[in-house]
Structure 1
Amino acid sequence: MSDSSTPPVVPATELLEHGLEHEQVVFANDPASGLRAIIAIHSTALGPALGGTRFYPYASTAAALADVLALSRGMSYKAAVTGLDLGGGKAVIIGDPATQKSEALLRAYGRFVESLGGRYLTACDVGTYSEDMDLVARESSFVTGRTEAHGGAGDSSVLTAYGVFCGLRAAAETVWGDHDPAAGLAGRTVGVAGVGKVGRHLVGHLVDAGARVVVTDVSTTALDRVRDEHPEVQVVTSTEALVASALDVYAPCALGGALSDEVVAELSARIVCGAANNQLAHPGVEKLVEDRGIVYAPDYVVNAGGLVQVADELEGFSFERAKLRATRIYDTTRTVLERARRDGVPTATAADRIAEQRMLEVGRLRGIWLP
């Protein structure tokens, strides 16, 4: 799998504390198929919880739980700040998708999703694809992100990358002050860490915008594919080498925890804007980013295009309509950056406040008027 790094290990006491924010956390174990999975529903204040299914060889159940708790919380905030009438949830399947994924396992997982009665809607994520969702859907009606052949939206990474690019244009305009936002990336050096599903599409947008692109990935297959499509792209050997190089923009597009104290101290980039979820390695990193004069476009703001795409499928999918909605990520990013400047807070704090305000206000109305 190409969009990968090791998720952070969180102490059990901290896991328990974080889990208390969530409405529901459910474990599944099906020995016959080998399914070991966790679904975390963080909030249904705005609607049913929608979030992808991550299939990953976690080192422990604790590591899987840490990931699903953080990811599901991020989905609540992502849906809220994007203006969707959806809550936040996430699922993880513990195992190596290259060797353990099977029809039996995916169908067992579908029955697990179905058992929640629509409180959780699932879709693709790292290690799962639209074809997998077709199998899950044979056991559950609460599935989106299906293949086009089954009336679905197909690969959600397309609009995820497009949304990140829209957010990056907004950040570039804020930092470099160009009246034409696209021109803000022309000639800039953008480092992309992870060129799997989303990063690969993002590279295409950046090259088209005239940026100089430097990439890295743990998968040589992913790197070879990007080089074949864009021979002008430069490849470096590791994320550490990428971070240490001269960049205008750093785009983390692998798994979470990309912005640690050490990375922030090393970065020369003026902007951090990428597709990875939960990029801040720990609370307080956002202040270090701000103190260094780096503009951080909050991950769940800019990477919401995939959520927009699979959510549109619930209405009967239209790519044109979904792309139009994803384009609004530019405006949302501008709003977040402007509010951060106005309130004198880190951009991550500004985004959280906008999302929390909507969850509180709309959630209260749903509690009053809906059964």
Structure 2
Amino acid sequence: MFTLMESARLESLHFADDPATGLKAIIAIHNSRLGPALGGCRYLPYTDEQSAVDDALRLAKGMSYKAALAGLAQGGGKAVIIRPAHVDNRGALFEAFGRFIDTLNGHYITAMDSGTSSVDMDCIAQHTPHVTSTTAEGDPSPHTALGVFAGIRATALARLGSDNLEGLRVAIQGLGNVGFALAEQLHAAGAELLVSDLDHGRVQLAVEQLGARPVASEALLATPCDILAPCGLGGVLNSTSVGQLRCSAVAGAANNQLASADISDSLQARGILYAPDYVINAGGLIYVALKHQGEPLPAITAHLTQISRRLTEIFGHAQADKRSPARVADAIAERLLYG
């Protein structure tokens, strides 16, 4: 386990087992040089304990990089709870998790993530103040979408020479809370929308309200467009799909868009500009971090401009160094985290 931690440059790894509620939880703190570690809590049916540990380590590192490049005084951490086949009292399980978090004395702050909700965060908040994205604090999704929209404009300027989105063809893969909010903003800016989602109702809504053109999910990546915006599952950019792309740039809200780091080099070789996912989708993290610190909404909205500024910086370095933006973003994050 220590070898695994050293290879991931992880600061600490914490385990909780509460038979009374069924809680089996892991908290990974990757880096706290810039501030207390902040990261969501996943509640998923992992196939085994090692898979849960691996997920926590990988995601904690991503949160460190995201917070650093977003200009936040936060470190990176992640929690995973192995969802049992049956749980008698979900509220009691998350209350037990809240007590576990509180033993870390503020070194880790949790938030909503896959499989968890604001109601779960409310249960955690009964036993620790080190939690955000509660019901009272509100949904971070609109702020993620705002940041991605600003990032798309920065990407369009860098790749196409103008941040005017009118008439630009944008293909959105995934119309969840963030994807649909992004589609609304792009429509208001005059962009032409191509959309796909496994939920046909969401696609129909985009067609009726935003004049979007529906495209089958399996065909969207190969559809000609100016900008592809992945807003669904991760790993969408792989050795097969990159060869199918017919876009000038990729800029979307999905986490972990690259199946592996070398995919960014393949995009670079094809002349497709890639907006690093953990930079462009940082709006939700900015919202929950600053909300937890008691910042007012105008200050939070103003901080979102950090996203487009950082992307412009990354694109500039990438062009000068003839490297992929993903490689540049990683290098900047590591310099901030490790000196």
How does the TM-score come out when normalised to structure 1?
Answer: 0.84
> CA shift at 1:129, angstroms?
2.7
SS at match of 2:298: helix
Look up the match of 1:281.
259
Rounded Cα–Cα distance in structure 2 between residues aligned with 1:126 and 1:312: 21
Equivalent position to 1:295, from 273, 281, 297: 273
Displacement of 1:39 after TM fit?
1.7
- Count of residue pairs brought into register by the alignment: 339
Which residue of the partner structure matches residue 207 of structure 1? 187
The aligned counterpart of 1:235 is 214
> What is the deviation of 1:99?
8.6
Counterpart for residue 7 of structure 1? none
Aligned positions of 1:102-113 closer than 5 A:
102-113=90-101
Distance (whole Å) between structure 2 residues aligned to residue 38 and residue 232 of structure 1: 45
Please give the alpha-carbon distance, in whole angstroms, between the structure 1 residues aligned to 2:52 and 2:271. Answer: 34
| Cα distance in 1 between the residues matched to 2:303 and 2:86 | 34
| Residue in structure 1 matching 2:28, options 30, 37, 40 | 40
Q: 1:223 to 1:163 in 2, by over 3 A?
A: same
Check 1:63–1:206 CA distance in 2 against 1; reply closer, same or farther (3 A cut). farther
Counterpart residue type for residue 186 of structure 2: L
Note the residue ranges of structure 2 that are not aligned, 5 or more in a row: none
Match of 1:365 in 2: none
Which sections of structure 1, spanning at least 5 residues, go unmatched?
Answer: 1-11, 362-371
Q: Distance in 2 between matches of 1:99 and 1:233?
A: 42
Deviation at 1:69, TM superposition (A): 1.8
Cα distance change, pair 63–79 in 1 and its aligned pair in 2 (3 A): same
Equivalent residues in 2 for 1:3-14, closer than 5 Å: none
Shift in Å, 1:54: 2.3
**TM-superposed deviation, 1:100:** 8.5
Pairwise CA distance, 1:256: 2.2
Supply the distance in 2 between the matched residues of 1:47 and 1:231 (Cα, whole angstroms): 41
Partner of 2:54: 66
1:343/1:162 CA distance change after superposition, 3 Å: same
TM-score where L is the length of structure 2: 0.91
3-state DSSP of counterpart to 1:261: coil
- 1:340 aligns to 2:318 (yes or no): yes
What is the one-letter code of the residue matched to 1:283?
A: A
* TM alignment of 1:181-192, pairs within 5 A: 181=163, 183=164, 185-192=165-172
Give the Å deviation of 1:101.
8.0
1:318 lines up with 2:296 in the alignment? yes
* CA deviation string 1:192-224 (max 9, x = no partner): 222223212111111111112222233445445
CA distance in 2, matches of 1:348, 1:249: 17
Give yes or no for contact 1:133–1:143 (8 Å, CA) kept in 2: yes
C-alpha distance after superposition, 1:289-320 (max 9, x if no partner): 10011100001111111111111123314121
Q: Tell me if 1:263 matches 2:263.
A: no
Q: Distance in 1 between matches of 2:213 and 2:26?
A: 39
Q: How far apart are 1:189 and its partner, in Å? A: 2.0
The C-alpha deviation readout for 1:309-334, integer Å capped at 9, x for no partner, is: 11112331412110110122111110
Distance 1:52 1:337, change over 3 A: same
Indicate whether 1:165 and 2:149 are aligned.
yes
Question: What SS does the corresponding residue of 2:216 show, helix, strand or coil?
Answer: coil
- Shift, 1:117, TM fit: 1.8
- State the shift of 1:226 in Å: 4.4
> Partners of 1:44 and 1:139 in 2: how far apart?
23
Kindly report the root-mean-square deviation, in angstroms, between the aligned alpha carbons of the 2 structures. Answer: 2.5
> How far did residue 115 of structure 1 move?
2.1
Distance 2:6 2:252 in 1: 25
Q: In the alignment, is the contact (CA less than 8 A) between 2:21 and 2:88 conserved in 1? A: no
> Do the aligned partners of residues 327 and 69 (structure 1) sit closer, same or farther apart at CA in structure 2, a change above 3 Å counting?
same
With over 3 angstroms needed to count, the CA separation of the structure-2 counterparts of 1:346 and 1:116, relative to structure 1, is: same
Say whether the 8 Å CA contact 1:191–1:251 is kept in structure 2: yes
C-alpha displacement of 1:60: 3.8
Q: Does 1:327 align with 2:315?
A: no
Contact 1:56 1:97 in 2 (8 A): no
Secondary structure at 1:65 match in 2: helix
Residue identity over aligned pairs, in percent, reads 43
User: Looking at both structures, which has the greater relative contact order when contacts are Cα pairs under 8 Å and sequence separation is at least 6?
Assistant: 1
The one-letter code matched in structure 2 to 1:329 is I
Q: 1:108 offset after TM fit, Å? A: 1.8
Query: What amino acid does structure 2 have at the position aligned with 1:86?
Result: Q
Per the TM alignment, residue 170 of structure 1 is displaced from its structure 2 partner at its CA by 0.2
1:99 and 1:30, CA in 2 relative to 1: closer, same or farther beyond 3 A?
Answer: closer
Query: Where does 1:17-56 land on structure 2 (aligned, <5 Å)?
Result: 20-56=8-44
Q: 1:172 to 1:144 in 2, by over 3 A?
A: same
Matches of 1:313 and 1:324, distance apart in 2: 13
Distance 2:122 2:85 in 1: 16
In structure 2, what is the equivalent of residue 138 of structure 1? 126
